[in-house]
């Protein structure tokens, strides 16, 4: 599976919104600057995410975006399906090759079965990872304490 730049930017933006979920609205300029996303492209992405029910917006001077529901409820599978379309590791193989029009092609069937397993594994991971999980991973990678104070004596 390949994630487009649009998909990556959508995930970056949702991490910012997930990390600020309890704080409310985040200005689009702040998201663009924090995650190095071109503002005009980010506007398009956030409008698309709004139409998909992932984010809400508020207009005006104190306007911006926030998640439409808790980050624990937004799976990567749902988000990527919305932004990228159907999830799959490779284009679907034709049922029969041009050379073997009369009867099954065992090699092609074997490849299809493996690609189906790959797709199912990808879906299993994406269905079980949420925006909250991404936020936690990002905090850990930045070296921030997750879930409370971290004291060392």
Q: What is the pLDDT at residue 106?
A: 84
What tokens does 12 get? 């970056």
Q: What is the pLDDT at residue 2?
A: 81
pTM of the model: 0.78
Q: What is the pLDDT at residue 142?
A: 86
Residue (of 70, 66, 86) closest to 130 by Cα position: 70
Between CA 70 and CA 18 the distance in angstroms is 8
Domains of the chain: 5-142 (1.10.10.10)
By the 8 A CB rule, do 27 and 46 touch?
no
3-state SS class at 75: strand
- Tens of pLDDT along the chain (153 residues) come to 788 999 999 999 999 999 999 998 999 999 999 999 999 999 999 999 999 999 999 998 888 999 999 999 999 999 999 999 876 555 544 444 445 555 568 888 888 899 889 889 999 999 999 999 999 999 999 887 655 555 555
Q: What is the pLDDT at residue 80?
A: 93
By the 8 A CB rule, do 27 and 57 touch?
no
Those residues with Cβ within 8 angstroms of residue 15's Cβ, 6 or more apart along the chain or in another chain: 35, 131, 134, 135, 138
């Amino acid at each position: 599976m390949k994630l487009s730049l649009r998909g990556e930017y959508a995930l970056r933006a949702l991490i910012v919104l997930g990390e600020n979920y309890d704080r409310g609205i985040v200005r689009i300029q702040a998201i663009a600057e924090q995650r190095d996303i071109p503002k005009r492209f980010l506007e398009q992405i956030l409008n698309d995410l709004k139409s998909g029910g992932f984010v809400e917006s508020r207009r005006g001077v104190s306007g911006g975006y926030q998640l439409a529901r808790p980050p624990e409820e937004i799976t990567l599978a749902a988000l990527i399906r919305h932004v990228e379309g159907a999830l799959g590791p490779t284009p679907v193989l034709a049922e029969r090759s041009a050379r073997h029009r009369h009867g099954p092609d065992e090699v092609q069937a074997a490849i299809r079965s493996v690609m189906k397993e790959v797709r199912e594994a990808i879906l299993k991971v994406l269905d079980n990872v949420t925006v909250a999980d991404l936020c936690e991973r990002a905090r850990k990678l930045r070296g921030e304490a997750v879930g409370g104070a971290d004291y060392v004596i």
